[in-house]
Amino acid sequence: MSVPAAVFASGGGSNLGALLEYERRHEGAGYRIELVVSDREEAGAITRARSAGRDAEVVPTGTRPDEDVTPELLALLERSGVEAIFLAGYLRLLPGELVRRFQGRILNVHPALLPAFGGKGMYGLRVHRAVLEQGSRVTGVTVHFVNEVYDEGAVLAQWPVPVRSGDTPESLAARVLSVEHVLYPLSADHLGRALSKGRQPSPLDPFSELFLLGLDPPEYELGHQIRRAFGYT
Ligand code: GRF
């Protein structure tokens, strides 16, 4: 059973693309994207959603107070029967009332290993710049539940990504993004399946062989190293 879902995005929407593609390739996926919401008419995510034949709505936020935005968002979600929300590069903090209504049903993807390199203002290339400035050798992707504070909800899945010598913020962003495109749809599927059985999901185990098979060789090899380090056979 697929859970009807909405994707919220402010930017290019490559994660939305990955979610749509996963849904297309997996007939029994745990979610179906019924609605895409953006705060910007010119967001690539809007074009992407419409060309995939999905309902796409622009809800400008800007300086509008939550009391104004919340009913509009809730009406759209209700109209599409949405039961789960996936944030994919949505740069606004969701109104508190919406977060409370969908508690345990909203995911976000962040391009680092939270709680490191997260919080207000940490998005896009700023994250990868900070990772390089810090001299970290490992970064990664975090999929987490959304609560009322930026990047602070419980973690559903994490995947490490190596920092290589000579990396620029752009090269690191591209490596991390390719892992987001694998981890986010798997996490969304996992949540959808759990919700359709009336359960909350257990944390996703990205070191399982099944998960690793979806990865490109460098991350696949890294995954195996981590499996061995954690004593998986
Ligand atoms: C991704 O890096 C994601 O981790 C962050 O915003 C970016 C969105 O990229 N939350 P895209 O619009 O999905 O290409």
Q: What CATH number should be reported for the domain holding residue 210?
A: 3.40.50.170
What pTM was estimated for this model as a whole? 0.91
Residue whose CB lies within 8 A of the most ligand 1 atoms, among 37, 172, 180, 181, for a mutation test: 180
Contact assessment for residue 181 and residue 18, using Cβ atoms and an 8 Å cutoff: yes
Query: Is the CB–ligand 1 distance for residue 177 below 6 Å?
Result: yes
- Domain holding 154, by residue range, is 3-229
What atom in ligand 1 is closest to the CA of residue 13?
12
CA–centroid distance, 233 to ligand 1, in Å, is 33
Query: Is the CB–ligand 1 distance for residue 178 below 6 Å?
Result: no
Residue entry with tokens 């690539």: 44
Count Cβ atoms within 10 A of the Cβ of residue 130 and give its class: 0-12 exposed, 13-18 middle, 19 or more buried: middle
Contact assessment for residue 136 and residue 163, using Cβ atoms and an 8 Å cutoff: yes
Domain count for the chain: 1
CA–centroid distance, 231 to ligand 1, in Å, is 32
Tens of pLDDT, residue by residue, the chain (233 residues): 899 999 999 999 999 999 999 999 888 899 999 999 999 999 999 999 999 999 999 999 988 999 999 999 999 999 999 999 999 999 898 999 999 999 999 999 999 999 999 998 999 999 999 999 999 999 999 999 999 887 889 999 998 888 999 999 999 999 999 989 988 998 999 999 999 999 998 887 766 766 666 666 766 777 777 677 666 66
